[in-house]
Structure formats: C-alpha cells, structure tokens
Structure 1
Amino acid sequence: MPELTHRRRLLVLAICCMSLLIVSLDNTVLNVALPSMRRELDASVSGMQWTIDAYTVVLASLLMLAGSTADRLGRRRVFMTGLVLFTAGSVLCSLAPDLTALIAFRMVQAVGGCMLNPVAMSIITNTFTDPRERARAIGVWGGVVGISMAAGPLVGGVLTELVNWRAIFWINLPVGLAALVLTWRYVPESRAPKPRRVDPVGQILVMVLLGSLTFGIIEAPDAGFTSPLVVVCAVLAAASLAGLLRYEPRRAEPLIDLRFFRSAPFSGATVIAVCSFAALGGFLFVNTLYLQEVRGLSALHAGLYMLPMAALTLVCAPLSGRLVGSRGPRLPLLVAGVALTASGVLFAALDAETSLPLLFTGYVLFGLGFGMVNAPITNTAVSGMPRAQAGVASAVASTSRQIGTTLGVAVIGAVLASGMASGGGAGGMDDFVAASRTAWWVLTGCGLAVLLVGAATSGAWARATAERTAARLGGPDQPGPVDAKAGRR
C-alpha cells in the first residue's frame, strides 16, 4: 500500500472509527429499549436476551473469517460490503413486525458488522507504519469502543422516549452511508502478501461452540439446568471446544493460531476482554430491568440515570488511549480492575440499588473502570505482533469482546431469572435486590479478574513472552523488539 500523507492517514482512522462506532453502539443502545420492545412484541426475558445475543454470537463467530477473507479479497472491498450489509440490516430491524423477525434481522446486522471491526484494524495497522503513530491510533480506536459503549444507553433512552424503540436503528443509516462514501473515496485497497486459506472446519466448530453455549445458558432457567435440551447444548459446546483444541494446531493456516496464546499479554488481553465485556453486558441488562421494571422509570429517565457511567467512560476512554500510547497498558488496566471490582461490591454487598448516592457511586466507578479498559485490550493484543498478523490478533480481541458481551447477558439474565423465580416472581424492590445479588457477585468476580490478569500480564516477564511469540510468528515484515515496545514508551 503506498505511503499516505499524515492528513490522509488521520482521515482513514476517522472512517474506521465511524464503522466501529455504529457496530459497538448496537451492542448497548438496545438495552434501554428492551422493556418497550418487550411490551410491543410480547416477548419473554429470554426473548429479550436473544435480541442482544443473536447479534453478538454471530459477530463473535464470523469475525476471524471476515478478517482472513479481507486479507485475501481486499480490505476495502470487504469493508464496504460490511457497511452495506450492516446499514441494510439496521433498516430491516427498524421495520421488524415481530420478535422472530427482529432476531433474524439482528443476525443480518451482525454479518455486516463482522466485516468492519477486524478489517478496519487491519487497515489501521497497515496505514500507520510508524510504531509510535500506530500505538496512538490504536489508542484512539480503543477509546472509541468505550465512548460508543457508554453512549448507547443514553442514545437509546432519548430515541425510545421521543420516538420509539425502532428509532434506535435509524441512526446507523446516515453514519453507515457516510462511511461508505468516504471509504470509496479515501481508503486505498490493500491485501495481505500471503493471505491465509479458509478453515471451514474451524469456522463450523467456533459457531457450534458459541451457539450451543449461549443457547443452553439462556434457555436453562425455563427448560431446567438438567433438562435434555441444556445437557445436549453442554455436550455440543464441550465437544466443539475439544475439537478446536485438537484440530487447529494441526493446520498450517488455522482459523485460530493457538501460538498467539504463548504471548502472556495477548492471552491476558483475551481474558480481560471477555471479563470486562461480560461485566458490561450484565451490568446494562440488570440495570435496564431494575430502572424501568422496578423503579418504573421511562426509557429516557433510565438513560439519564446511567449518565454518570456514560460521562466517566466518555472522559476516561480517550485518556486511557493516551496513557497506553505514552506509558503502556499496565496503569489503565490496574485502574480499570479496581474500579470495576469496587462497583460490583457496592451492589453485591451494600445493596446500592436501595440508595441513590450508592447507586450513582456504583455507576461512576463502573464508567471509570470500563472507560479505562478498552484501549489496553486492543493495544496489548496487537502490539509486538508482525504486521501481517495484526488483523488476526485484532480479530481475536474483537471476538473476545463479543463473547464476553454474549456470556454476560446470557449468564446474568439466567441468574436473575432463576433468582426471581425462586422468590415467587414478584417485582418489588426487595425481591429484585435479593434476586440480583448473585448476579452482582458474578460481575464483581469479572472486575477482580481484570485486576489480577492485568497485573500479571503487563510486566517485564509478560513482554518477554510477547517478543518471543512475535519472533516465532515473524516473517519479512516482523516488527522486532522496537515495535513490540511501542505501546509502553
């Protein structure tokens, strides 16, 4: 790809961030609208879980395939195809006549979305060739994830209140069309020098693993945890995981290169992504039901209640990106782990729902933690990898985010449904607080995992494993030790 001017590189970064904005926003914008959708579509709690998880499961299943396809066919071509599909899927979602159609159209959205994030990261890493500039660009990218995630509840609340829940899908139309035109005009085409071959067996195993695991968790409260349906799902998930671990190392060009996980920072980024986004998915799901179903707030007021979380994330996400670019990922990860853990403890141990000061303190802490965690995830996953592998590494990080959101909504929704059922299904404040206590302890555990794993995988020993892994994976464009250190200067 020819060298671009600094202004052109910044424009390419802005275009890539536009695509990231709409894909990430759709992970969270739906939450505040769930009660309105539930009433209009006459849906159950599990039905509402599926409107979120159908999107994230498909995203997680196809991200790596989309990344390797873009390396082969052309990144700009696949990126533009993704924008078309995602925008069309958004329009279809806004017109959905029932829950089944909405879930199906959300899957269309996800097929388009899977072609955006990993491909955009490949475009960024091949556009910003200087290690310092690349680290800063990745920091901006990670900051946009946090901003879009935080803005989701507020944007969803405003649109649902002023128009209706269908309006939350309309915002993707102008952004998607603008990104499409700008991509066609300004983003140069690029391909990998040696694109990887398709791995259909690995792709099928990933889809079966994520689909069966999510389905079993969501349906367990209604079907029973020992029901044949749930047992079959568990067996399928375990068999698929075993198949992946056995089959992938034998391929010359696997869908998931397990050698990546010899890098402690990369493995840590994967675990942190799953845990932090599970915390986000569960946090938003529980709070949406609490604010609207228990407190009786409107969608707009529920979004405004979560404004402290959104505000802290908006402030901390770009700050985290700058810290990662200048000082490395360790400090943001430690701050994130402490804040997420403290937020969970306020709700789990002190019943923060029953006190507005504690409630808003919990929101502030969660916003601080989540705002700090995104930039280090992407930077840690990608930095030190050969440029030819950066897209794949980014795809694994993006997949981990989607898996986390999927599991967070599925597990927390299942725990909450089980707790409400055992309490007789009443909807009062005391019943909800009691039913959600276990869910909050799960979210506390997610925050603690971010803290411990972040501390363990961001030191000198961890960086050494990343450099050794990069050397093993290297090729003619291997960045070497300087690039591996770029994110911590």
Structure 2
Amino acid sequence: MSEKLSTARPNTRASRAGMALIACCIAQFLLTINGSIASIVLPTISTDFGVQLPAAQWVVSVYPLTVACLLILMGNLADRLGRRTILITGIVTMGAASIMCALAPDILFLTVSRTIQAIGGAMIATSGLAAVSAQSTDPAARAKAIAWWAAIGGVALAAGPFFGGILAEWFGWRGVFWFSVPLAIIAVVIARAAVAESRADKPHPTDPVGQVLVSALIAAASFALIDGARAGWGSPLILGALALAAVLLVAAVLRARGRTNPLIPLQIFRNRSFIRGSLTSIVGFAAAAGLFYLAPQYLRDVAQQSAVQAGLFLLPLALVSLVSAQLSGLIVARNKARLDLLLAGTLIAVASLMLFVLADVSLWWVAIGFAVFGFGYGLLNDPLSVTALAAMPAAEAGLASALFSTAKQFGQLLGIAAISTLLITVSPSFSTAYHEVGRWAWLALAACGVLIVALNLRSGATQPSTSASASASASASASA
C-alpha cells in the first residue's frame, strides 16, 4: 500500500523516526497495560463502591469488549484521516478518560469512563506502529521498530498487575488510573513533534452498516458471556442477547454476500492458516487474560497478600515474558513458528497444572508457576502473527490484521468471562468461590495450553519464509 508521507530532512530523519518510535511505544504501553492493571484493584473498587464483584467485573471486561468492537472502524479511519491524527486523538482520549476513571464517584461512571478509555485504545491499536512503519523505508529499521512495539505490548499486559499493586498500595485504587495521565501527556508531546502523517492512497471502502452489524454482534455476544453467570443463563436478558447475536451474525453474513466491497470479505475465512492462527490467538489470549484476572484476586483475597506483595509475586511473569518474546523472534526468524507455538502451549499447560496442584502448598510454587506461564505467554505473539497472516494476499493484509487483533481482544474478553463465570456461579465472594471451585480455574487455563498444542500439532501448519514472517509480523503489529 503506497503512503503519502510528510517530508523530513535527511539528516534528521533517523532521530525523528527514533522519537516517533518512543511515542508509539508509550502509546502501546498505555493501550496494553490498561487491559490488565485494574484487575488487582477489583476487590477494593467493589468494597469502596459497595457493589458485589460481578458488577465490578465490568470495569475490567468493558475494556477489551470496546476495543474489539472498534478495531476495524478505527483502522479504516486511520487509513483515511491519517495515522498520526488518529494516534494523537487516541492518546488524548485515553488520558482524558483516565482522569475520569480516577475521579469516578460511582461504579457506573467508572465503567463508562473505562469504555471511553477503550475507545482511545482502539485508536492507538490501529494507528501506532503503522505510523512508525511509515517513518522509514529501511526494512531493518522497520523490523526493529516492530520488535520493540510487540515486546512493549507483551510486557505491559503481563506487568499490569505488578504496577497496579504498587500504585494501589501507595495511592489507592484511583492511583491506578492517574498513572496513565503523565504518560499520555509525554506521548502526545513527542508524537506531535516526531510522528509524520501518513494515510492510504486507496483505503478499504467504508461500509457503515456492516461496521454497525459487526460491532453489535461482538457486543451482544460479549454481554451474554460476561453477565450470564450473574443474571442467569436462562434469564430473558441473556437469552435475548444470545438471540440478538445470532440474528446479527446472519445479517452480517448476508450483508457481506450482497456487497462488492464488504467490510469483511467472506473468502478471508477460507484461509486455513488465518483461521488456525486466529483460533490459537483467541485461546492463547483467553488463557493470559484469565490468569491476569484470576491471579491478583487469588493473591489478595485467598493468600492474603497486600497489593504490593501480590504485584511482586507477578513480577517474574512480566520479566520472563520479555526474555521469551526476544527468543520467540529468533525462533520465528528461523521459520519455526509452529515449534514456537507448540512450546508456548506446552509451557502454559505445564504452568497451569503446577498451579492446580501446588497453589495451596506454597506461594513460592505459585511464583514459579507464574514464571513458567510467563515464558510460554511471551512466546505467543510473533508466531501467531505469522501463522495467521503470512499466507494472506497483500491486498487483504490490513483487514486480516484488524481481524486478527479483534480475535486477540475477544480472547482476552472470553478468558475473563470464563473464569469469572466459574467463580460467580458459586458465590459473589471471590474467596468463598475459590475455595469451592478455584482449583478448576487453573485446570481451565491448562486446557487452553493443551488446545494451543492441538491446533498447531499438524505438520501442515504454516511454516512461512523469513520474508513472509517479517511481513506478517509487521502487518499484525501495526494493528495489534
């Protein structure tokens, strides 16, 4: 896809590209850490506002839900209006909504503020690395930018509970949201100075009706998943949401069949590598989000650790995932994406089984289990990008990237919903529910690891060339 780039003097281009990378990495950090940082303060928020945990859960769940609903739309807007414009707008929106979260007087205001925060996140997700990639025509420099972007995102998601614990201990739960404000200001200042504008010459045709149908479909299905345990799976509200999701699915398919340039061409789902990668992404990020939702509350409510202590127990997970993410890049570069995914799934399964067996024995075993899980989690992103996108035609790479990123967000939402449903079905009190069925939650995460292995066990799984791997990673990261 050709780009219209703002000009820059040759002797300043490299430094400007470096500053643009810093701005976009800060934005990526904000986008990703806000997906997991609130989990550790859910018990405190629940107590402070006098609501039960199922209601407070929406503070976490609404974030990936909103991002997933808006990724395709925001990607289209970024192509049309400019990546720099959408990036800066997203960062400003994220910062302003973070202030709203920090000042929230009740749980409803906080949940709405988190929704606005996620709107900014969707803007960042679809414009950040695309803006960085447009700063340089050097493939090596672009590959390094992609590597940094992916590493920052992976570590931020894993580090969210750690930072959340520290901030909550020092400043209360509201400090978790104030944390994003200075970072947003810094990112905006740097982005305005360093990020050049870029946009697509021939953006994908808009389909407002298709966008509404797809977003409403994701929202209806997600609402049923999130609120099913609280409201009751047989309640009219949940049955109505599921029925609406089914109707919207049929309508979206009919809409795609009836247009020359639909929002989502149906033929994209005939690509087995894309389907395998997307399914693996849903399962892998469901496991990760499930752990990041379960572990902080286990440490706080069951193990009776302070917010800081809980964060410290989760720190090895974040650090190890950074190391394994770099190792993953080396493995994928040698055309071993399938091996990488098999190793990731195995480690996630082994770590979860360790927690299933040993969580009640010693917290040191818990910390080791978290570290093993983090190593597996860090291996996921690069090979998933390759498996899902390397076989896609270049003309569909942007759309495939948006769908792949939507799958990741939906996976996070599914993981949170599944674990919370298991617990809430027993009791609205986390500690009570955990003592009844909590160990089975670890087993559910182990099942996700086994499923990752099963999805990629066939020798026919995609093994793209190195050049294809780089291209796929670039496309995926640009929308991740």
What's the counterpart of residue 414 of structure 1? 421
How far apart in 1 are the matches of 2:63 and 2:233?
A: 24
Q: CA deviation at 1:377?
A: 2.8
CA 392–181 in structure 1, closer or farther in 2 if over 3 Å, else same: farther
| Maintained 8 Å contact 1:420/1:435 | no
**Contact in 2 for aligned 1:327/1:487 (Cα 8 Å):** no
- State the shift of 1:15 in Å: 2.3
The change in CA–CA distance for 1:248 and 1:14 in structure 2 (over 3 A counts) is farther
1:146 equivalenced with 2:154 (yes/no)? yes
The answer to whether the aligner puts 1:59 opposite 2:67 as a matched pair is: yes
Partner secondary structure for residue 238 of structure 1:
helix
State whether structure 2 residue 251 is matched by structure 1 residue 243.
yes
Q: 1:451 aligns with which of 430, 445, 453?
A: 453
Out of 197, 213, 224, which is 2:232 matched to?
Answer: 224
Residue type at the aligned position of 1:113:
G
State the Cα distance separating 1:343 from its structure 2 match: 1.7
Alpha-carbon distance in structure 2 between the residues aligned to 1:388 and 1:133: 23
Give the TM-score normalised by the residue count of structure 2. 0.89
Are 1:84 and 1:112, in contact at CA under 8 Å, matched by a contact in 2?
Answer: yes
Correspondence for 1:484: 468
How far apart are residue 34 of structure 1 and its match? 1.1
Q: 1:138 to 1:262 in 2, by over 3 A?
A: farther
Listed as ranges, the gaps of 5+ residues in structure 2 are 474-480
Q: What is the identity, as a one-letter code, of the residue corresponding to 2:468?
A: A
Given candidates 117, 122, 142, the residue that maps to 2:130 is 122
In 2: Cα distance, 1:208 partner to 1:462 partner? 32
CA contact (8 A) 1:383 1:487 kept: yes
Q: What CA deviation, in whole Å up to 9, does each residue of 1:211-259 have, x standing for no partner?
A: 2222222322232221221211111122222332332243333322333
Deviation at 1:351, TM superposition (A): 4.9
Q: 1:438 to 1:199 in 2, by over 3 A?
A: farther
Corresponding residue for 1:185? 193
Structure-to-structure mapping, 1:402-441, within 5 angstroms:
402-420=409-427, 427=431, 432-441=434-443
Give per-residue Cα distances to partners, 1:125-174, cap 9 Å, x unaligned: 44454555544433332211111011111100000001111111122112
Which residue pairs with 1:206 in the alignment? 214
Q: Give per-residue Cα distances to partners, 1:84-129, cap 9 Å, x unaligned.
A: 1111111111110110000000011111111111112322444454
Maintained 8 Å contact 1:16/1:120 = yes
Which of 34, 53, 62 aligns to 2:42? It is 34
Q: Structure 1 CA distance, aligned partners of 2:331 and 2:15?
A: 23
- State the shift of 1:57 in Å: 0.9
Asked whether the 8 Å contact 2:38–2:176 carries over to 1, the reply is yes
Counterpart CA distance in 1 for 2:324 and 2:333 is 14
Q: Within 1, Cα distance between the matches of 2:68 and 2:302?
A: 32
How do 1:69-84 residues align onto structure 2 when only pairs under 5 Å count?
Answer: 69-84=77-92
Per the alignment, do residues 462 and 201 of structure 1 end up closer, same or farther by CA in structure 2, a change over 3 Å counting? same
Residue 13 and residue 208 in structure 1: after superposition, are their counterparts in 2 closer, same or farther (change >3 A)? Answer: same
Contact 2:84 2:196 in 1 (8 A): yes
Q: Within 1, Cα distance between the matches of 2:178 and 2:300? A: 23
CA distance in structure 2 between the aligned counterparts of 1:174 and 1:225, rounded to whole angstroms: 42
1: CA distance, partners of 2:352 / 2:318 = 17
Q: Is the 8 A contact 2:301 2:430 kept in 1?
A: no
TM-score (norm 1): 0.87
**In 1, Cα distance between equivalents of 2:181 and 2:421:** 33
Aligned partners of 1:284 and 1:234: how far apart in 2?
A: 27
Deviations 1:414-454 (A, max 9, x none): 11111347xxx6946xx624412332232222212222334
Instruction: Report SS of the residue matched to 1:32.
Output: helix
Distance 2:338 2:443 in 1: 25
Matches within 5 A, 1:352-431: 352-383=359-390, 389-420=396-427, 427=431
| Aligned-partner Cα distance in 2 for 1:426–1:10 | 45
**What is the DSSP-based 3-state SS (H/G/I as helix, E as strand, rest coil) of the residue aligned with 1:353?**
coil
Change in Cα spacing, 1:333 to 1:12, as seen in structure 2 (3 Å) is farther
User: What is aligned with 2:103?
Assistant: 95
Please, which runs of 5 or more residues in structure 1 have no aligned partner? 465-480
Q: Which amino acid aligns with 1:79?
A: L
